[in-house]
Amino acid sequence: MKIESVDFFYLSMPEVLDIGDGSQDAVLVRVRAGGLEGWGECEAAPLPTIAAYVCPMSHSACKPVKHSVEGMELNDPADIHRIARNVHANSFDLLQADHTLSGIDIALWDLLGKKLDEPVYRLLGYKKAFSKIPYASQLFGDTPEETYEKARQSGGSGYRAVKFGWGPIGRGSVAEDAAHFHAAREGLGADAYLMVDIGTVWGEDVASAKERLATLSAVNAYWLEEPFANMALGAYCQLADGEPRVPLAAGEGCNSYVQAAAMLDYAGLQFIQIDTGRIGGITPAKRVADDAVRKGISYVNHTFTSHLALSASLQPYAGVEKDVICEYPVEPKQLALDITANKMTLNAEGRVEVPEAPGLGMSVNLDTLRKYVVDTEIKIKGTLVYQTPAL
Preceding peptide of 244 cis, ω within 30°: yes
Rounded Cα–Cα distance for residues 132 and 136 (Å): 12
**Residue 2: DSSP 8-state:** B
Asked if residues 252 and 279 have their Cβ atoms less than 8 Å apart, the reply is no
Cα 153–249–329 angle (5° rounding)?
A: 35
Contact 193, 159 (CB under 8 A): no
Q: Give dist(CA 195, CA 178) in Å, integer.
A: 14
DSSP 73: B
Alpha carbon 220 to its chain centroid, in Å, reads 25
| CA distances for 198 relative to 143, 218, 223, 260, angstroms | 16, 17, 11, 19
Residues 6+ apart with CB under 8 A from 48: 96, 99
pLDDT (tens digit, 0 to 9) for every residue of the chain, 391 residues total? 999 999 999 999 999 888 877 889 999 999 999 999 999 999 999 999 999 999 999 999 999 999 999 999 999 999 999 999 999 999 999 999 999 999 999 999 999 999 999 999 999 999 999 999 998 888 899 999 999 999 999 888 888 899 999 889 999 999 999 999 999 999 999 999 999 999 999 999 999 999 999 999 999 999 999 999 999 999 999 999 999 999 999 999 999 999 999 999 999 999 999 999 999 999 999 999 999 999 999 999 999 899 999 999 999 999 999 999 999 888 889 999 999 999 998 898 889 999 999 999 999 999 999 999 999 999 999 999 999 999 8
SS3 call for 116: helix
CB atoms within 10 A of CB 214: 13
Can you tell me the distance from the alpha carbon of 104 to that of 195, in angstroms, rounded to the nearest whole number? 31
Give the number of other CB atoms < 10 A from CB of residue 322.
10
**Total-model pTM:** 0.95
